Amino acid sequence: MKQLDLKSEAYRYIVQSYGEWLGTLVYNGQTVYQLPSHVQEFVYYAESKCYAGLHQLDIHLFKDHYYKLKGRSNQRRGGGLSNSYLNKHLQALQKFGDYLRQSGRLLLPKLDIRTESGEGIITDVLTQEEIKLLFETTYQPYESRKHDKGSQFYETMQMRDRAMLAVFYGCGLRRNEGYRLDTGDIHFHNSLLHVRKGKGHQERFVPLTRQGLTYLEQYLYDARPYFINGKQDALFVGYSGRH
């Protein structure tokens, strides 16, 4: 999407404030970046229709903008906009309505537009054999190479990667769920993992297998201290000591 310059200072402020609101709800960085850009496109459309202020926005304008977007051509590839793009835009508008209501700025009814179909895309799923190969990779013996960090570094990274596989694959976690885990989220005494910041801001407990617990214990006590400088609660860290 090309850069859209808003004339209204109030509109510029509301787009920025909306992004900050998304950040407080612990959405991932990509969402916090993308959704305000879609809302900026909406308020740019509102300005073009002479809607001078926030108080003039109504649900009809939301729908009018979205359906015009559905009929717009893709400026880079030709044809129409993809369903995934339209759904992301629709999500931005729906969340924007939530933001306006919750902040007390404007009371709007829910945007009752159905999401577009998934265009028949089927997600590839790793087979058990492929997962087995991933685990086997973490047991490959160390081979000295020029400018490498030595066998201890290599072996601690392998322990960390096995623990990551045990959590992401074994517990079925999303990327950001695993990224945000802290050491205190592992409950060894009852074999549970506490996911505090899941999708839709829901928390849940996920069972850990005995082998998964073993991988996590080895990583926490034998590998993770190698990377940590000072106090750090993040479960999975890189060699720099950060998430």
Q: What is the pTM of this model?
A: 0.55
Please provide the DSSP assignment of 127-152 as one string.
-HHHHHHHHHHTTPPP---TT---HH
**pLDDT surpassing 50 at residue 1:** no
Q: How far is CA 219 from the centre of its chain?
A: 25
Give the per-residue pLDDT at 67.
93
Answer yes or no: is pLDDT of 27 > 50.
yes
Name the pairing type of β-strands 186-187 and 192-195.
Answer: antiparallel
Residue labelled with tokens 């007390």 = 104
Residues 6+ apart with CB under 8 A from 100: 54, 57, 106, 107, 108
In this predicted structure, the answer to whether residue 158 has a pLDDT above a threshold of 60 is: yes
**Mean pLDDT estimate for the chain:** 87
- In the predicted structure, residue 228 carries a pLDDT above the cut 80: yes
Position 121 pLDDT exceeds 60 = no
